[in-house]
Structure 1
């Protein structure tokens, strides 16, 4: 075989990386060349080697000592050629990267590998390692044994730095995503986010909880899988009408849309949804976000509160009605005893009973007023009112209380008439409650002052006292329901703590304002109410005079009293007989109709809450009877709300009295009644 031809050889050598021996199988080789230089005929390769921008080197096999290095490789490691040629691969390789070199070297020695590439760290002269990528190939001698290695070395520090930066960025992004997810999952509101295609890219834990299931993230939302219904009609929401779909497709923002839903597990609930489109800098829709809050429990709680409030109001109304029954009997009895007793001591006792009955009646009326106000059932008349005249009427009402406590009451009224628009009864109630409150919370022989003046376009009424005052912590809630200053077990002032609540509500219904001032306990208090002045109108000069009661015609009337409470019926009959009327009594609806046919009454005083047949039905039947349709019908009942009065008039009643009835007013009505 010629010496220049390729041969198969077997070689055994020691590795520079350790002591193992390698048996190299037969391999194709080329004739051996001198180790100290490249072939002279390889001039082009020589130029490439020297001028290449990449590092190039020729290393001895198997110990890895450098035989030749180019300038780029020297510059890469900060070394001179002389420094490089006295070193070898293992000395300059990072300890963690030697193992990979060893594996590849063994394979080369065994003839299993002729070339390979790998990334490794090489030692720079200043002591730090730099990342490189080596492309190595073995050159074998004529016998096929590894002669030397050719290496192309690429400086990949920048790439590695970029890769490391990318890794760190990814780690940071993953950490931020974890933080974001933790925050989003903590939000007590269901949250989803869609991309431009309608695919869900985010859902938080509360959303999953609200819908009792998971959506398929990164897939387009199938709105048909979600069942939503309009609360008012029960109509199912169309797929394109879901708030998030509207935001994504039409760019519409929705706010607080209430929907009934059927969850993914079949249970029902209610949510409130808001949604908004996500826009890029050019205003294009690139996604949408929606938030929903599960208000199922809240809605159920609200329903329970509404029902409880309704039952409370019904209870108060019924309580007032039930209290008025025995109160009416007590008042009637006291009236009878008062009119028939001459002994001073007895009259004193009766006066006490009368006052306490009036107090009890006031408490019942306050309870009913609160019930009406909280349900929005107060209906005001809109009349032109002389505030000064109403002040005088209120003073007459509270004068006995002022005298009882020995208070000095001063009143200042303007010379010019001050007029407002409102309900005369309710307006007087405001004044009476303020004056009564001042009297209650002022020690005996105190001073109370009421001032009326016109302030710009407002009628201002101030009630000032030198009483116990209001503590600082009480001032902000003095108008709250059941709030009382200086409350405690003694409750020496009495009352339910609802008088000022009623005042504030009535003032607001009149478009007015109320304020309270107090420097604290022991410094008295001042309440100021203001109302818009009535629009001016031409009017003649007016004088005021007391209006007489309706004239009492001589002779009594035939009266039928109908009440299922025997005590009330009998005492009322006795009182009316005392006034000279002829009275017949019945205790239920059928008996009332029968008695009416028998005695042909001129006036029927009829209770509403009768057993079997209520007073409304009795009235309707009486109006249909040709013989009795002319009779005067007056309701005397514990049902005293405005609606009760309307129903009574619609049923055919001529008049409505609320128990306990003012016996003098009732007698005046009966006496003056004309068929």
Structure 2
């Protein structure tokens, strides 16, 4: 077109300004003079494209008559950089360049630009002509095509299962040679047991080479046009040595495309109609054959748990299998010819399917989605697919669909998600707990370390040394309490907490709890008010563990109440139930924290003023211990700074005769003990030496060994009464050393006590199995030693004690 303009005006330097040629062109055209770039001529189609009529010869209208120009990435395109300006400056034409034209009303279109120069008879450039074409709709369609291709790629995996389970025979061919990529079972049934994958059609099915099917495959691959064939005759062999057998099939060759739209293969699918054709030759009336086929398919589909159905082009059901009818709760007579809305689908649901069915009719492509539905099975989640059914003429004549109940799969996905979130939350709590544990274990170490230094500096100041020893004892007790809490956590997690129940009085339980928490309460300046029933109340309980319940609750109130606060412990009897409330006027509990207050490692958020020590174990232990006593515990609070209340309910022991107290063994004091020969075995030299010093001060004859072999030699030379045996040692561990000692002549008469940091029931069982008479858990203090000597005295009276040492 631009060559025509150039030819028309080349005969005169200015004659082209008056030509009417551009008015006759079917495209938008305008002409600019060189070198000014002023518009000197444009046609009506250019006005329609620009949405305006520019002034010819105006400086402000140079190079282009559009309101505004943009590059394709949306950045503004100045007139001075417009394609026309480039052509006039360089003399080089522009072909098929795309730009965005904005009209005065703000609307935008995409224009295809083609510009060529106009020369006079001396070959001088006197102007340029621009031919514009509106390609907006073409660009939109290109984008829509890309979107649809992407959607098809996503659908491929979902169709894989349908491919394998399809009642139709199906195969996927790749490349121009039609190499088998996959086939389903129906395809194998049609063509017999032969190798397909990796072979071309000519190699795998050589008998069809002269039957025209290969030519059809080539045509589909080359043109990208699908092929639909009905009642097609084909001669096949079920086995290599068998004669050719006549078969009739319905067949579709559907091109498979890459994301770029290139045909890369062919989907073959169809139905073997041979049996139906044989029946048609025997039946005189086509209606009878159709009825037979209908019954045949319905019998097959009635056994399928999925819903199978067919819509006509008005979106009314022309078929529904038994599974779908049962879900609707209707008969086929009640359902035939009705649409979704008429069958009771919610309006939004029916409208959704109408839109999807319209899309199938419009595009000829399947649509798949998931939707909830309430039918006779209740609320379920269904995955469904609508596919077009093509007639012999290639037109869509119906829409078929299958629906599968995926409720259990969805629930499983949700359960997996929930468990993943729980694991993430547990992992977060674990990290927080480890950080908090490290902090809590470091806290007592600083005053202990300082105390050691003070003892060095203040050896002549008895008062200071006494204060330091007291402080170090408190800090050591605090560390041991933390370790005990950790052991309780382990027992709770493995259901290894055991109660030693007996008849105990409420007063004794509360007194023990108050005694344990009094230092913390007094140190904070709190007042504690106790209110107990006048008459004694007895419980079937573990005295130590139940006292631990109320000491934990009192400690909790002391920690989370500002100095000088108030704490109440009120016990009341209600028939056969005891209710004990621990209240305070402390910082309270936020409503959001109450549901999880008894969870392991749970911490109530608080500001720095009230951020106290603790591992978040105490209340969890309270809950477990109360449950083990057949009781219940609850927490309540009116909110921040409104205090909190913990209420424990326990069953009361009705009569004195219900449980008799355990008989007590007579007390034997350490001062009554004879002096003993004691062997200490421990690879930790400081621990070994400090224990030896302690026992020497008590008047005993002490020897030490640092591994199992030294222990064996010392036993033979020293003949101890007692061996304190560390379990984990190099060279020869404590268990093996104990077994070897027992094999010596006097080994059975020696009292051997395992000393270890492990205190679980399994550890005690292992100690007994090795031959140990007792089991002490580190750190061992003076009271443990005194109890051991008492136990030895009892052992001499034929009483052997395996008790847990509680620090």
Normalised to the residue count of structure 1, the TM-score between the two structures is 0.51
Hey, what does 2:747 align to over in structure 1?
628
Q: What does 1:150-299 align with in structure 2 at a 5 Å threshold?
A: 167=314, 169-170=316-317, 173=339, 179=353, 185-186=369-370, 292-293=408-409, 298=416
Cα separation, partners in 2 of 1:303 and 1:353, compared to 1, 3 Å: same
SS of match in other structure, 2:547: helix
Cα separation, partners in 2 of 1:599 and 1:460, compared to 1, 3 Å: same
Hey, what does 1:374 align to over in structure 2?
493
Q: What does 1:111-510 align with in structure 2 at a 5 Å threshold?
A: 167=314, 169-170=316-317, 173=339, 179=353, 185-186=369-370, 292-293=408-409, 298=416, 343-488=462-607, 492-510=611-629
Matched residues in 1 for 2:460 and 2:610: separation? Answer: 34
Give 1:529 shift: 0.8
Cα separation, partners in 2 of 1:573 and 1:460, compared to 1, 3 Å: same
Cα separation, partners in 2 of 1:623 and 1:378, compared to 1, 3 Å: same
Give 1:344 shift: 0.8
SS of match in other structure, 2:545: helix
Matched residues in 2 for 1:547 and 1:204: separation? Answer: 81
SS of match in other structure, 1:179: helix
Give 1:587 shift: 1.8
Cα separation, partners in 2 of 1:668 and 1:370, compared to 1, 3 Å: closer
Matched, 1:664 2:783: yes
Hey, what does 1:261 align to over in structure 2?
none
SS of match in other structure, 1:613: coil
Matched residues in 2 for 1:188 and 1:609: separation? Answer: 62
2:636 to 508, 517, 523: 517
Do 1:470 and 1:521's aligned partners in 2 also have CA atoms closer than 8 Å? Answer: yes
SS of match in other structure, 2:480: helix
Give 1:638 shift: 0.8
1:469-501, Cα deviation, whole Å (9 max, x unpaired): 223333333223333335355664211222112
Cα separation, partners in 2 of 1:576 and 1:391, compared to 1, 3 Å: same
1:14-55, Cα deviation, whole Å (9 max, x unpaired): xxxxxxxxxxxxxxxxxxxxxxxxxxxxxxxxxxxxxxxxxx
Hey, what does 1:600 align to over in structure 2?
719
Give 1:627 shift: 1.0
2:693 to 555, 574, 578: 574
Matched residues in 2 for 1:185 and 1:341: separation? Answer: 87
Give 1:353 shift: 1.6
Give 1:402 shift: 2.5
Give 1:430 shift: 0.8
Cα separation, partners in 2 of 1:397 and 1:300, compared to 1, 3 Å: closer
SS of match in other structure, 1:564: coil
Cα separation, partners in 2 of 1:519 and 1:489, compared to 1, 3 Å: closer
Deviates more, 1:654-663 or 1:375-384: 375-384
Give 1:645 shift: 2.5
Q: What does 1:631-650 align with in structure 2 at a 5 Å threshold?
A: 631-650=750-769
Matched residues in 1 for 2:523 and 2:368: separation? Answer: 68
Give 1:304 shift: 12
SS of match in other structure, 2:671: coil
Do 2:582 and 2:646's aligned partners in 1 also have CA atoms closer than 8 Å? Answer: yes
Give 1:577 shift: 1.2
Matched residues in 1 for 2:775 and 2:671: separation? Answer: 20
Cα separation, partners in 2 of 1:487 and 1:291, compared to 1, 3 Å: closer
Matched, 1:587 2:771: no
Give 1:619 shift: 2.7
Matched residues in 1 for 2:534 and 2:497: separation? Answer: 33
SS of match in other structure, 1:293: helix
Give 1:560 shift: 1.1
SS of match in other structure, 2:562: coil
Matched residues in 2 for 1:611 and 1:632: separation? Answer: 22
Cα separation, partners in 2 of 1:415 and 1:545, compared to 1, 3 Å: farther
Matched residues in 1 for 2:422 and 2:640: separation? Answer: 40
Do 1:341 and 1:347's aligned partners in 2 also have CA atoms closer than 8 Å? Answer: no
1:536 to 635, 639, 655: 655
Do 2:668 and 2:790's aligned partners in 1 also have CA atoms closer than 8 Å? Answer: no
Give 1:451 shift: 2.3
Do 1:552 and 1:668's aligned partners in 2 also have CA atoms closer than 8 Å? Answer: no
Give 1:559 shift: 1.0
1:624-657, Cα deviation, whole Å (9 max, x unpaired): 3331111112222211223323332343322222
Cα RMSD for the two superposed structures = 4.8
Give 1:443 shift: 2.7
Matched residues in 2 for 1:351 and 1:397: separation? Answer: 16
Hey, what does 2:137 align to over in structure 1?
none
Matched residues in 2 for 1:613 and 1:429: separation? Answer: 39
Cα separation, partners in 2 of 1:303 and 1:413, compared to 1, 3 Å: closer
List alignment gaps of at least 5 residues for structure 1.
1-163, 194-201, 206-217, 219-286
Cα separation, partners in 2 of 1:341 and 1:500, compared to 1, 3 Å: farther
SS of match in other structure, 2:517: helix
Hey, what does 1:107 align to over in structure 2?
none
Do 2:509 and 2:543's aligned partners in 1 also have CA atoms closer than 8 Å? Answer: yes
SS of match in other structure, 1:397: helix
Hey, what does 1:527 align to over in structure 2?
646
SS of match in other structure, 1:410: strand
Deviates more, 1:646-655 or 1:509-518: 646-655
Do 2:708 and 2:734's aligned partners in 1 also have CA atoms closer than 8 Å? Answer: yes
Matched residues in 2 for 1:436 and 1:452: separation? Answer: 17
Do 2:560 and 2:610's aligned partners in 1 also have CA atoms closer than 8 Å? Answer: no
Hey, what does 1:144 align to over in structure 2?
none
Hey, what does 2:60 align to over in structure 1?
none
Give 1:563 shift: 1.6
Do 2:549 and 2:626's aligned partners in 1 also have CA atoms closer than 8 Å? Answer: yes
Matched residues in 2 for 1:514 and 1:382: separation? Answer: 19
Matched residues in 1 for 2:773 and 2:542: separation? Answer: 22
Matched residues in 1 for 2:604 and 2:314: separation? Answer: 70
Matched residues in 2 for 1:581 and 1:485: separation? Answer: 51
Matched residues in 1 for 2:659 and 2:312: separation? Answer: 94
Give 1:671 shift: 5.9
Give 1:419 shift: 2.6
List alignment gaps of at least 5 residues for structure 2.
1-310, 318-336, 342-349, 358-366, 386-399, 797-807
Do 1:603 and 1:670's aligned partners in 2 also have CA atoms closer than 8 Å? Answer: no
Give 1:547 shift: 9.0
Cα separation, partners in 2 of 1:398 and 1:545, compared to 1, 3 Å: farther
